[in-house]
Amino acid sequence: MSKLRPPVGANDHAQGPPEARITLVEYGDYECPYCGEAYPIVKRVQKELGKNLRFVFRNFPLSESHPHAVRAAHAAEAAALQGRFWEMHDTLYDNQQRLDEVQLRRYAEQRGLDVKRFALDLDSEAVAARVKSDFLSGVRSGVNGTPSFFVGGARYDASWDHDALLSYLQGLL
């Protein structure tokens, strides 16, 4: 069974309390249709488990299959530099079919970001390095497709449909 490398840390994008009983990590790609299917499932499970679950997202853009994936990951990280990662994350998944450059800038504007700063950050080495770091951590963790999930630092390879994932996580409480 693959282990999460590195473990969840202070620089990760996380929702939910750090002391939650369960930590669920997803390596995802904003253009991946399977990630798009998993997105509302994860949101629902987060709501159902409440303070018992901390959810962490790491970028794993599959650029050979999804031409807009890397740029979308950069957009999420550029938004993060303005404290708006999760808003952009949700917007990107809600608009998976519209991830071209014009739309990414429009989403930044709609989310109330400083658009000039967003545009600069979108092309910055810091943002590119963050996406690459997430991707390489996925490679080290044995990720070979998206979405890939880890629970408590161990790879979760069972079904991620709502009932199966919720049942598994509830069994850990």
pLDDT of residue 1: 65
- CATH assignment of the domain containing 104: 3.40.30.10
Per-residue pLDDT, averaged over 113-117, amounts to 98
pLDDT averaged over the chain? 97
pLDDT of residue 162: 98
Domain total in the chain: 1
* Helix runs in the chain, H state only: 33-49, 69-80, 85-94, 101-110, 115-122, 125-140, 162-170
Amino acid at 133: S
d(CA 77, CA 131): 8
Residue 100 lies in a domain: yes
pLDDT of residue 60: 98
Residue 6 lies in a domain: no
| Predicted TM-score of the model (pTM) | 0.97
pLDDT of residue 124: 98
pLDDT of residue 7: 97
Residue 2 lies in a domain: no
Per-residue pLDDT, averaged over 120-140, amounts to 98
Tell me the pLDDT tens digit for each residue of 70-88: 999 999 999 999 999 999 9
pLDDT of residue 112: 97
Residue 10 lies in a domain: no
Neighbours of 19 (CB within 10 A): 7
Amino acid at 62: L
Contact 15, 89 (CB under 8 A): no
Per-residue pLDDT, averaged over 19-37, amounts to 98
Residue 136 lies in a domain: yes
Residue 37 lies in a domain: yes
Residue 9 lies in a domain: no
Residue 8 lies in a domain: no
Give me the domain span that covers residue 72. Answer: 21-170
pLDDT of residue 122: 97
